[in-house]
A and B are shown apart, each in its own frame.
Chain A
Amino acid sequence: MAQARSRKRRIGMQIAEHATGIIASLLFLAPIVWTVLSAFKPAQESRQPPLPPWPTTGFSVENYATLNTFGDGLWLPAQNSIYVSVMTVVLSVIVSVLAGYGFSRFRFPLKNLLFVLILSTIMIPFQSILTPIFLVLTKIGLHNTLTGLVCVYVTLQLPFSIFMMRNAFDAVPREIEEAARMDGANNVTMLLRVMLPLVWPGIVTIALFAFLGAWNEFLAALVLMTDQSKFTLPIMMTALQSGRFGAIDWGAVQAGVTVMMVPCLVLFLLLQRFYIRGLMAGAVK
């Protein structure tokens, strides 16, 4: 009897727990789902009351079309964002793999000092050195160029990604390397053919963080990109949302936010475990 009662109570508890969990989940998901759905309302309906959140008179891509009529359209800033993010991923992977390998496997003068120097930049907020970065970019002719922005983003990623890659290389047993060296592998073959396949989870992790960082970054892009044709999505969308192109069209804002969110959400859903891995690496540091 008592056992049956306690079992009943346990089931009751479980139902209460899941009810709480589902309500909480909905609270976190609702703004995202709401925006994605609302973006598909026809323009007419976008100006109506927000309830219900989904389009009632049929799905429409009108808001995306409207978004494309502001400034230089949707495609140009999207291209800029894609270019900046992909280049940031490629460059930060190359630079951090090389540096991680160097710091993990070689002894050279000033090694520890350089490593600490790179890691310690994480203590100093880039927001406080943005003005001189602006001047440096001007000096080397990269002012108002997407390449300049990429250089800044790669540099911001370095402390995390080099730390990550050095640990990944450290985890590869020396014996594997020695065996490869016996077989006549030189340094380059060693890195490309022997080591890379072993550290790829680390590479996926730093690539994911580099992409999210570059895709979502706002302040540096706002300050460093003065030419409208160089705007990345967040900057273009802010100009739109602040009414710089005339009256604010919230349907277009929803469409733009959807375009900005979806790549991040998809990448995260596909690569969740690498993201968590990266967080853990950050946490144990």
Chain B
Amino acid sequence: MTTIAATSAPARRRKLVGTGRRQWIGLLYVAPAVALVVVFFIIPLCMTAWMSLHNWPLMGAHSFIGLDNYWAILRDTRFWNALRFTGYYTVVVTIAIFAVAFPLALFIERPRPLTGFYRTSFFMPAVIGFASASLLWSWLLNVDSGLFSPAAFELGLTEKKVNLLATFQPAFWSIIAMVVWKVAGFTMIILMTGLQSIPPDLQEAAMIDGAGPLARFRAITLPLMRRTLALALILSVAGSVLAFDQFYIILRGGPRNQTLTAVYWIFNQSFVSFKLGYGAALSMVLLVILVALSLIQLRLLRQPEGVD
């Protein structure tokens, strides 16, 4: 064939046509994802707002009632108790997770023999899922057939088998222990990546200047890890505010409804009492709280690091 001249013109044209068409082809590639997000996220999100203004039973017609659901929330002491409990739980569990995860992260950050084993074993509970972990612990915590109560009794530590789940304090701390066991490894890995991003020469320089381990931790490690700490904090807080599985599986709302969380109460109203409109209004309140929390924490994350 007559070579270069003949092929280059159509080739160039093809390329031009290609870029023109390319625009729409790109839209085609992302279309399935966008469709899923619209159908299973955006539409439900808008519907939540719409439903919250209705009396919406599972069966039968729904009717517009304006802000009545929201007024009802103001008088719903169960919900406010659930919210207060969720807040309390979030604070306690987050502190507990960090108190365990940070030392673990410091411990596994430095490579030494067995570090791989330590990392993996600390992390194992993090991959098994909250439902499995909760089922597992509901057995461990069971008064008759579990581990703790019968073992304490057998070893002569208690006079009779103590039911850890019967009263608020032991039940609450049992859940905290379970969640720390389950989540600490995850937080540890995040903190470890933060620790590893600190240039080692900074630590060395400080060491030469005579700074002890504590001083170095305060002056170098903590400030340089601000973003990582903020991230771990966001994940821990978001996860805890939405806590449901462990309270549902292990405690079922627990001694005298004292461990109802916010999501648990929404679940109760929507899918046990089938007050879908009211459930939607509760969801809106929780949603606003969570978005506000995320925005505050994002702020924390965005601030330039290492600036005092």
Among B122, B131, B136, B146, contact of A28 (Cβ-Cβ < 8 Å)? B122
Determine which of B24, B37, B147, B267 lies in contact with A50 in the assembled complex, contact meaning CB atoms within 8 Å: B147
- Is A101 at the interface (CB under 8 A from chain B)? yes
Interface hits, A78-125 → B, CB 8 Å: 94-96, 98-99, 101-103, 105-111, 114, 117-118, 121, 123-125
Cβ B287 vs Cβ A18 within 8 A = no
Q: Say whether A151 faces chain B, with CB atoms less than 8 Å apart.
A: yes
| B22 contact set on A, CB distance < 8 A | 106-108
Complexed CA–CA distance, A122 and B128 (Å):
22
Q: In the complex, what distance in Å separates the CA atom of A102 from the CA atom of B29?
A: 5
Asked if B190 is at the interface (CB within 8 A of a chain A CB), the reply is: yes
State whether B27 touches A102 (Cβ < 8 A): yes
A residues less than 8 Å from B122 (CB atoms): 24-25, 28
Are A162 and B117 in contact, with the CB atoms below 8 A? no
**Contact between B30 and A99, CB atoms less than 8 A apart:** yes
Give A215 to B25 CA distance when docked, in angstroms.
34
The reply to whether the CB of A246 lies closer than 8 angstroms to some CB of chain B is no
Residues in chain B within 8 A of chain A (CB atoms): 22-30, 32-34, 36-37, 39-45, 47-48, 51, 104, 107, 112-114, 117-118, 120-125, 127-132, 135-140, 142, 145-147, 150-151, 154, 181, 185-186, 189-190, 193-194, 228, 231, 238, 242, 244-245, 248-249, 252, 263, 266-267, 270-271, 276, 279-280, 283-284, 286-287, 290-291, 294
Say whether B135 contacts A98, CB under 8 Å: no
Chain B residues with CB under 8 Å of A272's CB are 120
Q: How many residues of A contact B (CB 8 A)?
A: 92
Q: List 19 A-B contacts (CB under 8 A).
A: A20-B107, A32-B136, A34-B147, A47-B145, A49-B154, A102-B27, A107-B23, A108-B24, A127-B263, A128-B290, A158-B33, A216-B130, A218-B129, A218-B249, A223-B270, A241-B249, A272-B120, A283-B190, A283-B194
CA distance A125 to B45 in the complex (A): 10
Asked if A131 and B279 make an inter-chain contact with CB atoms under 8 angstroms apart, the answer reads yes
Q: Contacts A102-B26, A106-B27 given; 10 further ones with Cβ under 8 A? A: A29-B121, A32-B128, A129-B41, A129-B45, A129-B283, A135-B276, A234-B131, A257-B135, A261-B136, A283-B194
Residues in B with CB closer than 8 Å to A135 are 44, 47, 276
Query: A24 contacts B29, CB within 8 Å?
Result: no
What residues of chain A have their CB less than 8 Å away from a CB belonging to chain B?
14, 17-18, 20-22, 24-29, 31-32, 34-35, 46-47, 49-51, 94-96, 98-99, 101-103, 105-111, 114, 117-118, 121, 123-133, 135-136, 140, 151-152, 154-155, 158, 162, 187, 212, 215-219, 222-223, 234, 237-238, 241-242, 250, 253-254, 256-257, 260-261, 264-265, 267-269, 272, 275-276, 279-280, 283
